[in-house]
Amino acid sequence: MNCNIGVIKGDGIGPEIVDEAMKVLDKVAEVYNHTFNYEQLLMGGISIDTYGVPLTDETIEKAKASDAVLMGSIGGDTTTSPWYKLEPSLRPEAGLLKIRKALNLFANLRPAYLYNELKRACPLRDDIIGDGFDMLIMRELTGGLYFGERSTKEVDGKMTAVDTLTYNEDEIRRIAIKGFDIAMKRSKKVTSVDKANVLDSSRLWRKVVEEVAKDYPEVTYEHMLVDNCAMQLVRNPRQFDVILTENMFGDILSDEAAMVTGSLGMLSSASLNETKFGLYEPSHGSAPDIAGQDIANPIATILSAAMMLRYTFDLDKEADAIEEAVKQVLADGYRTEDIYDEGSTKVGCSKMGDLIAERIN
């Protein structure tokens, strides 16, 4: 297969971790007789330095012309970087919001899987994690509070900020369908998370999810308030299969889910539109404090590349090979600094990529 992949390395540790994902993809191409063509694209702080904006229209068009986009992390230190002295619409994260909207990437998939080898890195007690857990958070990505109208102005002599949370039924329905479709390929359970005891948007969310659920009689579903879900994630994460939720709730809950796996460095992510196109990135940030030191964990980005093979290119066997290679490396005792524990072998970012690529067969 010939695959055209747009590559956004981004800022901070982004270039390091994307290089390792490309190393693994190149090994997959060699072993399984595929061709991966890469086109380098700029977004985030490096785009601000080069073009004066976090995302250019030209980059958007090149991304649209790709089969998929593999991305590292963007942004820098919010207290010291000159990027954060710019108005909000010109900061690195504005580019991320813009590309999601431009590419209609409304469905964000964030798996949270606890590897047996990393149980000691999980902050939860053994009696809570048991044999481990395997969940997926399906987050609506282009609506809600982050994309609603906003303003900051003086009202009655006081500075007042307003952010608007808006969803229509079509936006809710399409993400619910994605969530139930994914559940059909997993353990056939959906937990829809909202704040229906307070918010009108959540009451509409709950109504539409119930309508969609009727088309999936094999899927068990439940509603859960977001505050209860946050508690349940640390009380009993094994109860979850697919968590379906809106933009801001999904942003927060997916980071919490990531932490109970042991490290944000292990959590992959896919953002999909209504076609096979997707943008694939790790869930963690750019970690500018460790950039260039060869200590970042590239596994989340490598697993994101595996998701790309699975969801965009339908290369399930190749995706399985990457995931199995990651498991083998962890079973062999290799760890980057963020997941290191006594008795394991500490390796750097580049070496971890080498070890995983070597096990692709």
284 burial class (0-12, 13-18, 19+ CB within 10 angstroms)?
Answer: buried
Contact between residue 44 and residue 92 where contact means Cβ atoms under 8 Å apart: yes
- Annotated catalytic residue 338: no
Cα angle for residues 216, 283, 98 (degrees, 5° grid): 85
**Nearby residues of 210 by Cβ (< 8 Å), 6 or more positions away:** none
- Indicate which residue of 98, 195, 221, 280 is catalytic: 195
Contact between residue 182 and residue 139 where contact means Cβ atoms under 8 Å apart: no
What are the C-alpha distances in Å from 282 to residues 91, 109, 189, 260? 20, 11, 25, 16
Distance separating alpha carbons of residues 53 and 89, to the nearest angstrom: 9
- Indicate which residue of 98, 115, 146, 311 is catalytic: 146
- Indicate which residue of 255, 294, 340, 354 is catalytic: 255
- Annotated catalytic residue 251: yes
> Beta strand pairing status for 150-155 and 158-163?
antiparallel
Distance separating alpha carbons of residues 181 and 24, to the nearest angstrom: 29
Distance separating alpha carbons of residues 282 and 71, to the nearest angstrom: 8
- Indicate which residue of 49, 170, 227, 314 is catalytic: 227
Residues with active-site annotation: 146, 195, 227, 251, 255
